[in-house]
Structure 1
Amino acid sequence: MKTSVHLSLPLLAVVSTVALVACGGDGGNPVVAPAPEPLTVAKASCATGNRPETGLQGQVDASLRANGFNGFNCNLDLVGSYKGDGAGVSFASFKDHAGRTCTYHSTTTGHPVGLQNPGVTVLDITDPATPIRTASLTSIAMLDPLESMRLNGQRQILVANNGYASVGGPEVDVYDLSSDCRTPQLLASAPVGTGADGGVYTPNSPLTKGHEGAISPDGLTYYIGDFTNNVYRAIDITDPAKPKQIAVFDMKDLPGKAHGLSVSADGNRVYAAAYGLPTLAQVADPAAYPINGFVVLDTSEVQARKPNAAITLISTAFHKDGSASQHTLPMKVAGKSYLVQVDEGGSAGVLTDAGFKAACAAKLPPFPMARIYDIQDDSDPKLVSKLMLETHDPANCAKVAPDVMGLGLYAYGSHFCSVDNRENATALACAYFNSGIRVFDIRDPAKPKELAYFNPASGPLLPGSARAVLQQWREGAPDLCGAQLHFDFDRKQLVSACMDNGVQVLQFAPNTWPFAQSVASALQQ
């Protein structure tokens, strides 16, 4: 097993500059180091008529918040929306055999007062300008799937585990989408891992807890990130009416906790988040060992359905300039294997005033971001680039402090990301909370560039918005965009959900995306 530890870019830049100056040059004169590579991704060039950001890249400054934020957009235009009861952080989209396009988004039931349609909202967006609610899924896991809901286009199923109140229970729900995406049919709503499912029983933690999830591309295995018990669970859904637990990987001997995850194209690897929260002392100590990142797991025995299948550790990759590892996403760019890893906490953890100050004092990014790793050799992942906005740059701490001090939890930073095609990725879309929905050109993974963004205007506090539970809503403040995203190649659109504004159907400006190299994905997940 190899362990990769990655220094932050600011430190690497300093080391590089010192080395160049020390080498000397002709006549004993020091060699002047070239200007350091910018820490942040290049800004998008916006189409005429857009409403571009007025401050730093990713910023909604305090004055805009105080007067009521009216939204920003760059190369993405809103063509349709559905507020409903608001949204949680699980989102999926699917086009069925009849050409109908549907979306599925969670609502949050921690404070259900006033909730009109609890559960997962089903929308028909075949006409993107007029989304129509066709159903609400109210089986136990769908009442609050938290971050676990996933869709598999090959099997045409929608799956979630019970994430109620962030701890949930042992239930897994499976729906069939094959007949009509507008009316999913319940196949199973059953507990797993308790001994009653006919699969592996885990006496050390018999009560499975839902939180996160992922489906293997072949649609036969659903993985649960059980944050409460700190384990990853493999659930056999070969028979979608009878889900059963078949393997467990315990994170107890590793830094970080079980959270989000993803599965390789062949099903033989799981890239699992290791959710770590540093102390303020660790943030201040440049020698402190990082505790946040991801682990690579060998799941070939699970994929082959070997009896008593074991999940084993291959490698780890940890970094200090982020925390609260959220999820991962494998992809290929020009035939080469990469992994997107996304945090939901900055260098000093999920946002607090003290943590913000500690990160800034240590010259580390105070907010979370996505990053790209080379995993051609998955025994030794190598950091390639970071999706850092100007709001992340520690040099801008004084400029963003008035926006976020006293806010807590989530502000400027990443949560979920999606690519246009896992087998031929050219664009990456990320939900960056108060910074809105951001899209990046990743055709050169070492030098990602901002392509487009959409940050919706502030909205009302809705009963099914995750902000009702997080207590993050502020009148006039920007929304929290934190759900998965879906590229629609045929319509040149991007669809996602933000907490106060609900589902957002966004149209790319002409000649923005797709690129000449882009092709539609067959996975629909």
Structure 2
Amino acid sequence: MAPTAADAAPLPVSKADCGPGSLPETGMQGDVSATDRDSGRSTRGFRCNVVLKGGYRGHGGGITSTSFENCAYMGSLFPGAMVGPDTGVSVIDASDPAQPRRTAVLRAPALQAGTWESLKTNRNTKLLVGTGVPLLFGAGLLSVYDVKNCAQPRLLNDGGPGSLNAPLPITSHEGGFSPDGRTYWTSSTGPGLLSAVDLSNPHRPRVIAQALTALESHGIGVSPDGFTLYLSHNLGGLSVWDVRDVQLRRPNPQIRYLGGVNWTNGWATQHSIPVTYSGKPFLFTVLEGGSGGVKFIDVSNRRNPRVVNNLKLEINLPKNQDRALASSMGGSAFAYESHYCAADRQVDPTALACGWTSSGIRVFDVRNPMKVKEIAYYNPPAKTNRFLELWNSPHALASVLGFPMLSVPAILQSLQQGVFDPRQALSPRSGRVLGGDISTDWCFSPPEWRGNKLYVACSDNGFQVLELTNDVYTPPANQLSTVGS
């Protein structure tokens, strides 16, 4: 797979026009400056055409969380998920958006082991699934819950005391459903094992097909018919797999490689959202490293996908990597990378909402995917130095480190292109290689659409209900939030 020709993103998406009630960013689009961090300004947060209706912080929002109907499920983080109080996945009822409340804690073994990026729901089968991922990599543990009563989920695959819910021959870091909910797919950073778990009988999940994919083993997206799986590379790119044998439950089902695309602009590809515009299939593919942003990919030829656009904030551009380093030092491993997104519908989507780590929640008008514009953002108030309250926050846990490791490839490319100015990279925070101060939040989870509201969880602020204001967004009649898996 050769690198795509559409690797560059010379311009950012257009900035949002912030209306009444906003508390805008003070500088570059997506940046939280060193001054705002060190002065305490970031503890007030930043908002544009968004208001916070209510939230439930708990002890942090884990890595990724998920939601179903009026409920949210906050991802768990090891070791706090096993040794802290309220161990497991917290269930939040947001029927009253102004006062979300915890109604249950799910303590199945997989959920106490840490769910990483595996916690997902499916609206067709009304199931919640999570796998046990203590640190980057997990094996064996998978739990299935019935969420028909979303505030009081019911464990289905409980094999009894000591069973650990009947471990499966899987490895995991990430996971997701086929659209019909009959298959849950697990993938892992190593050894690159992709597994299809049959949930036809959710009381007895079973592995029905597997494939070894090497480094092509991060997050996924599944086509609406369930026949095609888009698998993210741990590096820059994605591969396309024919999984119709699994979807059709054929005997001895095979998972067949079809093609793929690589790129050098961004790495650690996270997940893909299959969508269509005028009947033609595309992906919104999100990258969690190297300021890669969100790529818009034409997959009408499954053997030869093409990147046709790249959504980035101003702070993500190569010429601004020096500024990004100056502000993000002391903020730990992630800086201004995208992570998980949700489209407001799969057919001709009108808006895309993304968790953009230290840039908060970003909302885009994607009615014309070649001319995307930002319409709103919400960067939660920083919980600066409040580590002891946040044992379920990966941001707090990772803050033994101050240097933004996930930005290194973008910094190196900026240097190579001769647009990195070492003077611009200096700030009062420049020496903070060890020890982070959580002077921003990390927003990793997909913001899920509920009319003009968004359900989302960030690492330090936990679950939040956001509402778009100033008439920047009109929900389409057939709105149906989708993360692609």
TM-score w.r.t. the length of structure 2 is: 0.86
- What amino acid is aligned across from residue 277 of structure 2 in structure 1? V
> What is the CA-CA distance between 1:406 and the residue it aligns to?
5.4
1:333 alignment partner in structure 2: 277
1:242 alignment partner in structure 2: 204
Q: How does 1:171-250 map to 2 (within 5 A)?
A: 171-178=141-148, 180-189=149-158, 208-250=170-212
DSSP 3-state at the match of 2:252: coil
> What is the CA-CA distance between 1:197 and the residue it aligns to?
7.4
- Residues 9 and 39 in structure 1, CA contact (< 8 A), matched pair in contact too: no
2:33 alignment partner in structure 1: 61
- Pick closer, same or farther for the CA change 1:110–1:263 going to 2, 3 Å: same
- What amino acid is aligned across from residue 151 of structure 1 in structure 2? T
- After superposition, the C-alpha distances for 1:385-436 in whole angstroms (9 at most, x for unaligned) are 1111111111123322211245552011111111111234111111110000
- After superposition, the C-alpha distances for 1:229-253 in whole angstroms (9 at most, x for unaligned) are 211111111111111111112113x
DSSP 3-state at the match of 1:259: coil
How many Å separate the matches in 2 of 1:103 and 1:312? 35
1:398 alignment partner in structure 2: 322
DSSP 3-state at the match of 1:301: helix
How many Å separate the matches in 2 of 1:372 and 1:54? 29
Give yes or no for the alignment of 1:51 onto 2:23: yes
- What amino acid is aligned across from residue 39 of structure 2 in structure 1? N
How many Å separate the matches in 1 of 2:477 and 2:326? 40
- What amino acid is aligned across from residue 286 of structure 2 in structure 1? V
- What amino acid is aligned across from residue 123 of structure 2 in structure 1? G
How many Å separate the matches in 1 of 2:81 and 2:205? 29
- Pick closer, same or farther for the CA change 1:345–1:372 going to 2, 3 Å: same
2:404 alignment partner in structure 1: none
How many Å separate the matches in 1 of 2:266 and 2:350? 25
- Residues 343 and 481 in structure 2, CA contact (< 8 A), matched pair in contact too: no
1:288 alignment partner in structure 2: none
Q: How does 1:36-115 map to 2 (within 5 A)?
A: 39-68=11-40, 69=42, 70-95=44-69, 101-111=70-80, 115=84
Give yes or no for the alignment of 1:140 onto 2:64: no
2:352 alignment partner in structure 1: 428
- Residues 273 and 285 in structure 2, CA contact (< 8 A), matched pair in contact too: yes
- Pick closer, same or farther for the CA change 1:114–1:216 going to 2, 3 Å: closer
- Residues 338 and 372 in structure 1, CA contact (< 8 A), matched pair in contact too: yes
The 10-residue stretch of structure 1 (61-70 or 421-430) with the greater mean CA deviation from structure 2: 421-430
- What amino acid is aligned across from residue 145 of structure 1 in structure 2? T
2:265 alignment partner in structure 1: 321
Give yes or no for the alignment of 1:295 onto 2:239: yes
- Residues 325 and 343 in structure 1, CA contact (< 8 A), matched pair in contact too: yes
> What is the CA-CA distance between 1:116 and the residue it aligns to?
2.7
1:470 alignment partner in structure 2: 398
Give yes or no for the alignment of 1:519 onto 2:481: no
2:98 to 118, 129, 137: 129
How many Å separate the matches in 1 of 2:62 and 2:255? 31
Give yes or no for the alignment of 1:162 onto 2:132: yes
Percent sequence identity is 35
Give yes or no for the alignment of 1:5 onto 2:6: no
DSSP 3-state at the match of 2:30: coil
- Residues 274 and 281 in structure 2, CA contact (< 8 A), matched pair in contact too: yes
How many Å separate the matches in 2 of 1:133 and 1:427? 29
> What is the CA-CA distance between 1:222 and the residue it aligns to?
0.4
- Pick closer, same or farther for the CA change 1:189–1:271 going to 2, 3 Å: farther
How many Å separate the matches in 2 of 1:44 and 1:494? 17
The 10-residue stretch of structure 1 (110-119 or 151-160) with the greater mean CA deviation from structure 2: 110-119
How many Å separate the matches in 2 of 1:71 and 1:85? 19
- Residues 331 and 436 in structure 2, CA contact (< 8 A), matched pair in contact too: no
- Residues 80 and 506 in structure 1, CA contact (< 8 A), matched pair in contact too: yes
DSSP 3-state at the match of 2:35: helix
How many Å separate the matches in 2 of 1:217 and 1:113? 31
How many Å separate the matches in 1 of 2:248 and 2:83? 47
2:380 to 456, 460, 466: 456
> What is the CA-CA distance between 1:261 and the residue it aligns to?
0.5
1:259 to 207, 212, 218: 218
How many Å separate the matches in 1 of 2:265 and 2:12? 14
- Residues 226 and 233 in structure 1, CA contact (< 8 A), matched pair in contact too: no
1:360 alignment partner in structure 2: none
The 10-residue stretch of structure 1 (228-237 or 469-478) with the greater mean CA deviation from structure 2: 469-478
- After superposition, the C-alpha distances for 1:461-485 in whole angstroms (9 at most, x for unaligned) are 2111112332268446111111122
How many Å separate the matches in 1 of 2:374 and 2:279? 22
- Residues 428 and 442 in structure 1, CA contact (< 8 A), matched pair in contact too: yes
How many Å separate the matches in 2 of 1:45 and 1:415? 24
DSSP 3-state at the match of 2:138: coil
- The structure with the largest alpha-carbon Rg is 1
- After superposition, the C-alpha distances for 1:432-465 in whole angstroms (9 at most, x for unaligned) are 1000010111111112111110001111321111
2:231 to 272, 275, 289: 272
- Residues 211 and 255 in structure 2, CA contact (< 8 A), matched pair in contact too: yes
- Pick closer, same or farther for the CA change 1:112–1:119 going to 2, 3 Å: closer
1:152 alignment partner in structure 2: 122
2:429 alignment partner in structure 1: none
- After superposition, the C-alpha distances for 1:27-50 in whole angstroms (9 at most, x for unaligned) are xxxxxxxxxxx5110001111120
2:254 alignment partner in structure 1: 310
- Residues 196 and 208 in structure 2, CA contact (< 8 A), matched pair in contact too: yes
How many Å separate the matches in 2 of 1:47 and 1:190? 54
How many Å separate the matches in 2 of 1:522 and 1:322? 26
- Residues 120 and 177 in structure 2, CA contact (< 8 A), matched pair in contact too: yes
The 10-residue stretch of structure 1 (141-150 or 373-382) with the greater mean CA deviation from structure 2: 373-382
1:18 alignment partner in structure 2: none
> What is the CA-CA distance between 1:384 and the residue it aligns to?
1.9
How many Å separate the matches in 1 of 2:90 and 2:60? 10
2:310 to 386, 403, 408: 386
